[in-house]
Amino acid sequence: MSDHKHIIRLQAAMGEYDWGRQGSSSLAARLGPNAVGPTFRVDEGKCYGEMCVGTHHNGPLTAHLFDSPSRSLLDLISTDTKAYLGEKLSDTPSSTTRIPYCIRILSIRKMAPLQAHPDLKGLAGQLRQSAPDSFIDASFHKPQIAIALGEPLCITRAQYKGEGRATVGHAEVDDPDTAFMGFVGFRPLEEIKAFLEKIPELVAAIDEPALVIKFTQSPSNELLKQVYAKLLNRGAEAREEVAAVVKKLQERMMQNGAYVLGSRESEFLFRLFMKVNAQYPGDVGVLATTFFMNFAKLRKGEALYIGADEVYAYMEGDIIECKAISEPENVASATTEDSPPPLTTQVRSSISLLTFTSRPTSHWALPAQRYSQGRQHRSVKYGPPSEDYVVVGTFLSTLKAKEEVLEPILTPTIGIVIRGKVRVSASSKKRGECLDLDEGSVIFVPPGNEIRVEVLEGKGQEGAGELWWAQWSA
Q: Say whether 56 counts as a known binding-site residue.
A: no
Low-confidence ranges of the chain (pLDDT < 70): 1-3, 56-61, 92-96, 117-142, 159-171, 326-342, 344-350, 352-355, 386-387, 473-474
Question: Is residue 232, in this structure, part of any structural domain at all?
Answer: yes
Instruction: Yes or no: say if 51 and 21 are a contact pair by the CB < 8 Å rule.
Output: no
pLDDT in tens, 65-105: 999 999 999 999 999 999 999 988 877 655 567 888 889 99
Question: Is residue 219, in this structure, part of any structural domain at all?
Answer: yes
Question: Is residue 173, in this structure, part of any structural domain at all?
Answer: no
pLDDT at position 100: 83
pLDDT at position 333: 28
pLDDT at position 135: 36
Question: Is residue 178, in this structure, part of any structural domain at all?
Answer: no
Q: Say whether 363 counts as a known binding-site residue.
A: no
Question: Is residue 217, in this structure, part of any structural domain at all?
Answer: yes
Q: What is the residue range of 264's domain?
A: 191-283
How many domains does the chain fold into? 1
pLDDT in tens, 111-126: 998 887 665 455 445 5
Question: Is residue 51, in this structure, part of any structural domain at all?
Answer: no
Q: Considering the entire predicted model, what is its pTM?
A: 0.89
Question: Is residue 253, in this structure, part of any structural domain at all?
Answer: yes
Question: Is residue 158, in this structure, part of any structural domain at all?
Answer: no
